[in-house]
């Protein structure tokens, strides 16, 4: 196998799970951007806060983290709605 093949396989092996976690976190805009060759966004969003109404937030977040996610989401929604 060539070294470029191994690099591509490594990227694929990390991007597929990151994309799946991004979808579970309800960050569909970031998922779409990541699939449009901005793939580092998938890695970022796999570690970022989930949308407060997502499956991920309901399943894994306690009250404190859910409140942080809600404040974060509302701040960004206001910024882009103006």
DSSP string computed for 5-28: HHHHHHHHHHHHHHHHHHHHTT-H
- The pLDDT score that the predictor gives to residue 81 is 67
Residues 16, 56 within the same domain: no
Residues 42, 2 within the same domain: yes
Residues 54, 40 within the same domain: no
Task: Assess contact for 53 and 26: CB atoms under 8 A.
Answer: yes
The tally of CA atoms less than 13 A away on the side-chain side of residue 51 is 15
- The pLDDT score that the predictor gives to residue 69 is 93
pLDDT tens digits, the chain, 82 residues: what are they? 788 888 889 888 999 999 999 999 999 988 999 889 888 899 999 999 999 999 999 999 999 999 999 999 999 888 776 5
Residues 57, 32 within the same domain: no
Residues 4, 34 within the same domain: yes
pTM, full prediction: 0.78
Please give the residue range of the domain that contains residue 59. 50-82
- Per-position DSSP letters for 23-67, written without gaps between them: HHTT-HHHHHHHHTT-THHHHHHHHSPPPTTSHHHHHH--HHHHH
């Amino acid at each position: 196998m060539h070294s470029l093949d191994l690099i591509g396989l490594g990227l694929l092996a990390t991007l597929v799970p990151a994309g799946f976690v991004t979808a579970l976190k309800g960050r569909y805009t970031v998922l779409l951007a990541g699939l449009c060759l901005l793939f580092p966004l998938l890695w970022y969003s796999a570690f970022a806060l989930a949308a407060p109404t997502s499956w991920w937030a309901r399943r894994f977040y306690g009250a404190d983290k859910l409140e942080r996610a809600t404040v974060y989401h509302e701040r960004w929604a206001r910024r882009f709605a103006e």
